[in-house]
Amino acid sequence: MQIVASLAGTNLEVITVSADEAKKSSTSFPYIKTAKDEIIFEASAIAAHLARMNPNSGLSGVGAFQEASVNQWVAWAECSGAQVSNVVSGIQGKTVDAKRWNDQLGALKKTVMALNAHLKGKKWIVGDKPTIADVVAGVTLAPAFQLCFDSGFRKGHADLSAWF
Question: Could you report the per-residue pLDDT of 49-76, keeping only the tens digit for each?
Answer: 888 888 888 999 999 999 999 999 999 9
The answer on pLDDT for 10 being more than 90 is no
What pLDDT score was predicted for residue 8?
Answer: 60
Cβ–Cβ under 8 Å, residues 50 and 5:
yes
pTM, entire model: 0.80
What pLDDT score was predicted for residue 28?
Answer: 65
What pLDDT score was predicted for residue 103?
Answer: 93
Q: Across all residues in the chain, what is the average pLDDT?
A: 86
Confidence of residue 92 (pLDDT cuts 50, 70, 90): confident
| All structural domains of the chain | 2-57 (no CATH), 63-163 (1.20.1050.10)
Residues 146-163, mean pLDDT to the nearest whole number:
96
Confidence of residue 143 (pLDDT cuts 50, 70, 90): very high
pLDDT digits (tens, 9 = 90+) for 11-52: 655 555 556 665 666 666 677 777 788 888 788 888 888 888
What are the residues whose beta carbons fall under 8 Å from the beta carbon of 52, sequence distance 6 or more?
Answer: 60
